[in-house]
Chain A
Amino acid sequence: MKNLLYFLLALLSYQSYGQVELSGKVKDKSDGSVVQQAYLFIKPINKAISTDEKGFYEISLEPGEYIINVNYLGFQEYNERIRIDADRELDIYLQPKAESLEEVIVEKDIEKLDIRDPQMSVNRLSSETIKKIPVVLGEADVVRSLIKLPGITNAGEGSSGFNVRGGGADQNLVLMDDATIYNSSHLFGLFSVFNPNAVENLTLYKGGIPPRYGGRLSSVLDVDLKSGDLQNHKGDASIGVVSSKLNVQGPIKKGKTSYYFGGRSSYAHLFLKLTDNSNSAYFYDVNAKLKHRFNEDDQLYFSSYLGRDVFSLAESFKNTYGNTFASLRWKHRFNDDLTSDLSFTFTDYLYRLNLEFVGFEFENGIYDLDMNYDMNHFLSDELQLRYGLESIYHTFNPGYIKPTSPTSGITEDQLPRKYAWDNAAYLGISQDITDDLKLDYGLRFSAFSRLGQNETPVYENDQPVIYNEELNIYEEAEPIRTFNRSNTEIVKTYLNFEPRFSASYTFSESTSIKASYNRMVQNLHLISNTSSPTPLDIWTPSGTFIQPEKLDQFAFGFFKEFNDDRFTLEIESFYKSIDNKLDYVDGADLIANDDVERFVLSGEARSYGLEFLFKKNEGDLTGWVAYTLSRSEQRTPGRTTDEPGIAGGDWYLANYDKTHDLSIVANYDWNKQWSFNASFIAQTGLPVNFPVGQFEFQGLNIPVFEGRNTNRLPTVHRLDVSANYKPKKQNDLWDASWNFSIYNVYNRMNAAALSFEQNRTTGRNEAVRLSIFGIVPAVSYQIKF
């Protein structure tokens, strides 16, 4: 059997006789870093070849004399005449051009569809594209741009997070420089926590998720931040309607050490102050990164982030929340084929509410210590490995309350903290079976241990949720006793194998099909009874009463390039099913709740859909049309046949289900000064409940609801436009540009919610539509130096 395998492998690596190999790497002369996807033209035979992600290239040639030409954006053109008689290694060093066009390079690099790569269900965006897409109030935004791609939505204007392929907003692993971000939103979802100018690039995996990622069911959003330039000081700044940004970078020691600093802050609250209004709503965030190159083989990075949102209402109410992280990363190259990446990260998510008028301050949050060791092993052109270990220690603070004034009636209290230890080992294999058939496959093994805590509850018959048969409702069980357990003691461990597999088969130079399967396991649960998470929602770890949620996803795709990849078409279909999907029982009060298991039942969820993405990649007019047809639903049957479960145990639509979701994004470069961008969206309204009647109770009209998510909000559609203007006359110190945008051009009042309520003055019932934005013009001014 083994011999047969060797024979097959030998057959596959068989090469035509009488040829010689030219191979090597293409590198940036300024810092020795490798250049990916650079095209080498071999003259006079006019063969072309591109470098891989390690900057490596390889080509078979007849012995003879050739000219190697490399023309790569941002670098001076390279031309060299060589003579080749035998296998030869040639490393090519490119000289950077004086003015860097960094972002453009990134864009050309990352967004292009690679029809041969087995990785499917992936979306990449560069900071340049993000900055071009018009968004509300002229603020470029990562998540607002992502939701214009197929399979990615959110719960509407003013909602936090995003939903991938019918998954909840808590099912996305959001990484910023590999640190977990627990809340990706500013201003309750109007903007995301990523400063678009500080983003190097971002990748969103919707399926076929590589084994190195785990811990969430639906997707991985991996955002890399910029490192400082090792040669020159430079920066950019912008002033917009909502926020101002400043980003600076440069060498501390040329060629060795660099810094990057990015900061942004909103300032609308300053205008409120001017009008003598003591209310306030603002956010800020700061990114700082240091990079040090010891030598060719060792690089050290320190990356940190702090973001905060503050809302305050006169003297009575102040709400603060945000993420913080600091990470230290050491990249080491053992040799050309083996590199490692070791990182230590501290992350913190904090929510604080100060209710002055009641006289207390409430705080909850989550803190993580994370160690990650990742190895990238290049065995041959056909076989590469990626393996590593990850260990995270979680501390959860479900709530701490303290009085803020001597007259306050509040007693200081700390709800028992929870602890968990999350370990994983993974191996991913990329293998080219033939030139046309490529595989990525691997396994993640996760071991999640819930640790001891104070006041561990014990329930009668181990049932934290009781079904009241007489009244037909679910009720929380009162613990019959509680006991303390050390947080070094393991209470419960969940072991899970998570296989991952993807394959691509290329029919011709321009057509391929891909298929993938992945299993994901999620041990941190965000239970929210609103459509989109609110900042005070609390993450709860798996434990004695809460089992991990498990997902299986199958995806299949068809990919085609037209006209020398000026156009690309991607069609994907997916099916997902989730086991142990947690669902809250009706009437759950999830705020300041220490034992979430008393409010949730476990059920199942499924989603399926079709995604189309047609892109025009080149020319003055670029852009895409994205359309998704999908359905996402869940059900929670009773635990026994006597119980009705949630919503009668029937399937019901997920809160964020959208049947149709269409986005059209177009960018037109008119001339060197002007470029224009337009984006149009149309999508099915979110599932909601309309009342099916009313009754009077204690002087109030009470609307009657039946079932869950049986109605829908009206269809959402909107057109946004923007124009970028770069004045011809620029001064010597910086390049300036203007961005003019109009959000919701035809002033469509899209419903963010419908409220069915009693008019306070007339006492009559009415339906009130809440729209967050009508037409919003905005302008911003940027400089680059």
Chain B
Amino acid sequence: MKRSVIALLCIFFLYGCEEVVFVDLQEAEKRIVIDASIKWIKGTDGSDQKIRISKTRGFYEEDPIPVTDASVTITMPNDQLITFTNDEDQPGTYTTNEFLPELNETYELNVQAEGQQFRATETLKPVVPIDSITQRNDSGFSGEEIEIKTHYTDPAGVENYYLFAYRVPFIQIPTLEIFDDEFNDGNPIFSTYQEEDLESGNVVNIQMQGISRQYYDYLFLLLSQVGDSGGPFQTRPATVRGNIINTDNEDNYPFGYFSLSEVDTLNYLVQ
């Protein structure tokens, strides 16, 4: 919404506005990053899972720094230990085909990397199915943009949190949206996706996942400051700490999050 406000101001005055500039930046000490999102896609057995481990790098550095010698395990609710192994073709990506998803059960992640021990626990959150997709073609600032709505029905009487990811081939980054059900508990509701370059014939990949309250709070902070440094309309950025802790030295904390979600997904062909 803040972006719309800025856009409005710019159009309103026909002046401005955005220009890419180079800023000389400092780099902080590197930290371990654990991107552990376990996704159980509806209709699959959820046994194939992957976890990525890397290190932070300078803001302008393009090449990722994978961590390849980590040991990664998840302890199942039945205390069974599942080991993730490093994928030779994708350095820093650890995979398994033995994962057993169970809704509302708690899992523990353990990672050993660069001589440090990291741990996190989280619950696998269920999600309702996507009911339908609708489209309109008269949306956005120009009144000619395509807008897609993903409809679903929130379960009544429980707190639910959702993460939606929209991906199109011509945009390099997914659009992530998070929702809670504070004002629409138990109602049919929808998530909206608007993209000015969207055209008829494009395929939009839609993922809807159930997430925990804590992961919602984490994403709220993370997403609110992607693209920020603190202008007058912007939220002040801050260090975003996830749910993974360093059990050897708590000051040497990692970035990233351990989450487990049931996911409904579909590809929508824009009409």
Residues of A within 8 A of B (CB): 137, 155-156, 158-160, 187-190, 268, 272, 277-279, 281, 311, 313-317, 357-358, 360, 401, 409-411, 413, 470-473, 475, 529-532, 534, 586-587, 589, 592, 655, 686-709, 711, 749, 752-774, 776
- Please provide the chain B residues from 185 to 204 with a CB less than 8 Å away from any CB of chain A in the complex: 185-190, 192
- 11 A–B contact pairs at CB < 8 A? A277-B143, A279-B8, A313-B8, A315-B143, A587-B224, A686-B230, A696-B35, A697-B255, A761-B172, A763-B173, A767-B20
Chain A interface mostly: loop
- Asked whether, in the complex, the Cβ of A696 is within 8 Å of the Cβ of B52, the reply is yes
Are A693 and B28 CB-contacts (below 8 A) given A409-B187, A698-B35, A708-B236?
Answer: yes
Residues of B within 8 A of A (CB): 1, 4-6, 8-13, 15-23, 25-28, 30-31, 33, 35, 37, 52, 54-62, 64, 138-143, 147, 154, 165, 167, 170-174, 176, 182-190, 192, 217-218, 220-222, 224-243, 245, 250, 253, 255-257
**With A and B bound together, what is the CA distance between A277 and B250 in angstroms?**
55
- Asked whether, in the complex, the Cβ of B188 is within 8 Å of the Cβ of A530, the reply is no
- Asked whether, in the complex, the Cβ of B15 is within 8 Å of the Cβ of A772, the reply is yes
- Asked whether, in the complex, the Cβ of B255 is within 8 Å of the Cβ of A690, the reply is no
- Asked whether, in the complex, the Cβ of B226 is within 8 Å of the Cβ of A772, the reply is no
**With A and B bound together, what is the CA distance between A189 and B6 in angstroms?**
12
- Asked whether, in the complex, the Cβ of A689 is within 8 Å of the Cβ of B221, the reply is no
- Asked whether, in the complex, the Cβ of A411 is within 8 Å of the Cβ of B56, the reply is no
**With A and B bound together, what is the CA distance between A763 and B15 in angstroms?**
27
- Asked whether, in the complex, the Cβ of B57 is within 8 Å of the Cβ of A694, the reply is yes
Chain A residues within an 8 Å CB radius of B61: 694
**With A and B bound together, what is the CA distance between A744 and B176 in angstroms?**
39
- Asked whether, in the complex, the Cβ of A156 is within 8 Å of the Cβ of B232, the reply is yes
- Asked whether, in the complex, the Cβ of A771 is within 8 Å of the Cβ of B19, the reply is yes
Top 6 A-B residue pairs of the complex, sorted by shortest distance between their CB atoms: A753-B231, A409-B189, A763-B172, A757-B227, A587-B221, A692-B28
- Asked whether, in the complex, the Cβ of A655 is within 8 Å of the Cβ of B185, the reply is no
- Asked whether, in the complex, the Cβ of B256 is within 8 Å of the Cβ of A705, the reply is no
**With A and B bound together, what is the CA distance between A688 and B237 in angstroms?**
9
Chain A residues within an 8 Å CB radius of B142: 277, 314
- Asked whether, in the complex, the Cβ of B256 is within 8 Å of the Cβ of A695, the reply is yes
Q: How far is the CB of A419 from chain B (nearest CB, A)?
A: 23
- Asked whether, in the complex, the Cβ of A531 is within 8 Å of the Cβ of B33, the reply is no
**With A and B bound together, what is the CA distance between A744 and B5 in angstroms?**
22
Are A700 and B23 CB-contacts (below 8 A) given A313-B141, A411-B185?
Answer: no
Having A692-B26, A693-B28, A705-B239, one finds 7 other A-B pairs with CB under 8 Å, namely A357-B192, A410-B183, A688-B231, A696-B52, A758-B226, A772-B13, A772-B16
Determine which residue in A534, A697, A707, A754 has the highest number of CB atoms from chain B within 10 A of its CB, and name it. A697
Q: How far is the CB of A358 from chain B (nearest CB, A)?
A: 7
| B233 in complex: contacting residue of A357, A534, A709, A774, CB < 8 Å | A534
Q: How far is the CB of A409 from chain B (nearest CB, A)?
A: 3
Determine which residue in A188, A586, A762 has the highest number of CB atoms from chain B within 10 A of its CB, and name it. A586
Are A695 and B54 CB-contacts (below 8 A) given A758-B172, A770-B16?
Answer: yes
- Asked whether, in the complex, the Cβ of A753 is within 8 Å of the Cβ of B239, the reply is no
- Asked whether, in the complex, the Cβ of B27 is within 8 Å of the Cβ of A693, the reply is yes
- Asked whether, in the complex, the Cβ of B59 is within 8 Å of the Cβ of A158, the reply is no
Are A771 and B16 CB-contacts (below 8 A) given A413-B183, A761-B172, A763-B173?
Answer: yes
Q: Closest residue of chain A to B243, judged by CB?
A: A471
Chain A residues within an 8 Å CB radius of B243: 471
Q: How far is the CB of B188 from chain A (nearest CB, A)?
A: 5
- Asked whether, in the complex, the Cβ of B241 is within 8 Å of the Cβ of A755, the reply is no
- Asked whether, in the complex, the Cβ of B25 is within 8 Å of the Cβ of A691, the reply is yes
- Asked whether, in the complex, the Cβ of A697 is within 8 Å of the Cβ of B57, the reply is no
Q: Closest residue of chain B to A266, judged by CB?
A: B12
- Asked whether, in the complex, the Cβ of B16 is within 8 Å of the Cβ of A769, the reply is no
**With A and B bound together, what is the CA distance between A738 and B18 in angstroms?**
33
**With A and B bound together, what is the CA distance between A277 and B21 in angstroms?**
31
- Asked whether, in the complex, the Cβ of A753 is within 8 Å of the Cβ of B171, the reply is no
| B238 in complex: contacting residue of A409, A701, A708, A757, CB < 8 Å | A708
Q: How far is the CB of B1 from chain A (nearest CB, A)?
A: 8
Are A692 and B236 CB-contacts (below 8 A) given A314-B140, A409-B190?
Answer: no
Chain B residues within an 8 Å CB radius of A272: 11-12
Q: Closest residue of chain B to A584, judged by CB?
A: B236
Chain A residues within an 8 Å CB radius of B147: 357
Chain B residues within an 8 Å CB radius of A709: 230, 236
- Asked whether, in the complex, the Cβ of A409 is within 8 Å of the Cβ of B18, the reply is no
**With A and B bound together, what is the CA distance between A187 and B232 in angstroms?**
13
- Asked whether, in the complex, the Cβ of B28 is within 8 Å of the Cβ of A771, the reply is no
| A754 in complex: contacting residue of B21, B221, B225, B257, CB < 8 Å | B21
Chain A residues within an 8 Å CB radius of B56: 693-695, 704
Are A411 and B20 CB-contacts (below 8 A) given A313-B8, A530-B232, A755-B228?
Answer: no
- Asked whether, in the complex, the Cβ of B232 is within 8 Å of the Cβ of A411, the reply is no
Q: How far is the CB of B260 from chain A (nearest CB, A)?
A: 14
- Asked whether, in the complex, the Cβ of A692 is within 8 Å of the Cβ of B27, the reply is yes
| A702 in complex: contacting residue of B1, B174, B220, B240, CB < 8 Å | B240
Chain A residues within an 8 Å CB radius of B35: 696-698
- Asked whether, in the complex, the Cβ of B173 is within 8 Å of the Cβ of A758, the reply is yes
Chain B residues within an 8 Å CB radius of A311: 5, 8
Determine which residue in A159, A272, A472 has the highest number of CB atoms from chain B within 10 A of its CB, and name it. A472
**With A and B bound together, what is the CA distance between A171 and B18 in angstroms?**
32
- Asked whether, in the complex, the Cβ of B172 is within 8 Å of the Cβ of A760, the reply is yes
- Asked whether, in the complex, the Cβ of A409 is within 8 Å of the Cβ of B188, the reply is yes
- Asked whether, in the complex, the Cβ of B64 is within 8 Å of the Cβ of A696, the reply is yes
Chain B residues within an 8 Å CB radius of A756: 23, 59, 227-229
Chain B residues within an 8 Å CB radius of A698: 35, 37, 165, 174, 176
Q: Closest residue of chain B to A355, judged by CB?
A: B1
**With A and B bound together, what is the CA distance between A711 and B59 in angstroms?**
15
Chain A residues within an 8 Å CB radius of B16: 770-774
Determine which residue in B189, B234, B253 has the highest number of CB atoms from chain A within 10 A of its CB, and name it. B234
**With A and B bound together, what is the CA distance between A687 and B229 in angstroms?**
9
- Asked whether, in the complex, the Cβ of A690 is within 8 Å of the Cβ of B245, the reply is no
Q: Closest residue of chain B to A269, judged by CB?
A: B12
Are A753 and B233 CB-contacts (below 8 A) given A693-B59, A698-B176?
Answer: yes
Are A773 and B226 CB-contacts (below 8 A) given A278-B143, A693-B30?
Answer: no
Chain A residues within an 8 Å CB radius of B140: 314, 316
- Asked whether, in the complex, the Cβ of B33 is within 8 Å of the Cβ of A696, the reply is yes
| A472 in complex: contacting residue of B12, B184, B253, CB < 8 Å | B253
Are A586 and B221 CB-contacts (below 8 A) given A704-B239, A760-B173, A761-B171?
Answer: yes
- Asked whether, in the complex, the Cβ of B187 is within 8 Å of the Cβ of A137, the reply is no
Chain B residues within an 8 Å CB radius of A699: 165, 167, 173-174
Chain A residues within an 8 Å CB radius of B256: 695, 697
**With A and B bound together, what is the CA distance between A770 and B55 in angstroms?**
30
Q: How far is the CB of A407 from chain B (nearest CB, A)?
A: 8
